[in-house]
Amino acid sequence: MAHPVLLLVLLLSSTAISSSKRIQPKFSAIFYFGDSVLDTGNNNHIPTLAVANHVPYGRDFPGKKPTGRFSNGRLVPDLLNEKLQLKEFSPPFLDTKLSNNDIMTGVNFASAGSGFDDQTSQLSNTLPMSTQVDLFKDYLLRLRDIVGHEEASRIIANSLIFISSGTNDFSHYYRSSKRRKMDISDYQDTILQRAQAYVKELFDLGGRRFCLAGLPPFGCTPIQITLSRDPERACVDEQNRDAQVYNSKLQKLLPTLQGSLHGSKIVYLDAYKALMEILDDPAKYGFTETTRGCCGTGLREVALLCNALTPMCKNVSSYVFYDAVHPTERVYRLVNDYIVKDVIPQF
């Protein structure tokens, strides 16, 4: 009979192993698809004005350099890659200096200004989701050249495919008289059909584990508040309600989608809740300004992006938003903590 102390040690060690696996499953790679909250610099390599490769972006990024990230520092793809011990940053696929190791541990296809709807990208000449998926096919060829067909398939099957898009689609919906001819509910369904089609396409290319983010409360972004002309600077309730309806539809869709893609695991990321918790109780997290961006987004100004001439706030850590649309690194860190705690364990 085994010694009781030995049994206890074996029991404790096996519990520790299972709990560590539950907290941090090993992904061979992470791939990011979506818009500016994920884009780590792809737009630097295409002819578009939707770029953040200039000051004051990147002022708190290592080396204090603008890299194309729409924030003062790192984004969730960087923070999540580091937390899951893959690498320090999430390299954009269009970067010509990608190393073999970058290719093997995952790259970023996201493009600021894009959406699930191809028409959304036409306005800013960025990479819609359809193009991002096509780039993933190019990526697969490169990966197979490096590791061979069999190992490439294993890497993709054991990777995480992270998708966050749709905000630009709906922002443009509210501003476009042409699109508003379609009922908001019908437009939501159209976007959901496209999202579903892209997940299926990525599944057919070998992906098995997917994280799909819902819409954030984009009615609370400084640009939407300014455009609403509300003197109280309150969030735009109609837009937030529409985001919540879309999110509930997405949540209902995912189990059905997972059931139709045998061997897949699809987890919903509640981006609305993650950001709204901060906006509802900013003082709890040390924020004092929730309706204006740190750089240049004053009460009358509706410029989306910052440039070298826009006035800067003194204390960026007290701001939720860096410009008229995008959160500060501190917010992304809180969102990343939420992802690691509530989303990753579901895989």
C-alpha to C-alpha distance for 251 and 237, rounded to whole angstroms: 21
| Coil, helix or strand at residue 57 | coil
CA gap 118, 190 in Å, rounded: 12
Active site residue 326: yes
Residue 81: enclosing H or E segment and its boundaries?
helix 76-83
Only one residue has tokens 């099957």, namely: 157
The sign of the torsion formed by the CA atoms of 286, 290, 292, 295 equals positive
Phi, psi of 269 (to 5 degrees): -105, 120
Catalytic residue among 35, 39, 169, 323: 323
- Which residue out of 114, 260, 326, 342 is catalytically annotated? 326
C-alpha to C-alpha distance for 196 and 203, rounded to whole angstroms: 11
Q: Hey, what are 96's tokens?
A: 């010509």
Q: Phi and psi for 132 in degrees, rounded to 5? A: -60, -40
Determine which one of 35, 36, 102, 121 is catalytic.
36
Q: How far apart are CA 336 and CA 339, in angstroms?
A: 5
What single-letter amino acid sits at 109?
F
Q: Is 323 tagged catalytic?
A: yes
Query: Could you confirm whether 3 is annotated as catalytic?
Result: no
Regarding beta strands 30-34 and 160-164, do their DSSP bridges make them parallel or antiparallel, or are they unpaired? Answer: parallel
**Contact predicate 199/261, CB 8 Å:** yes
List active site positions. 36, 323, 326
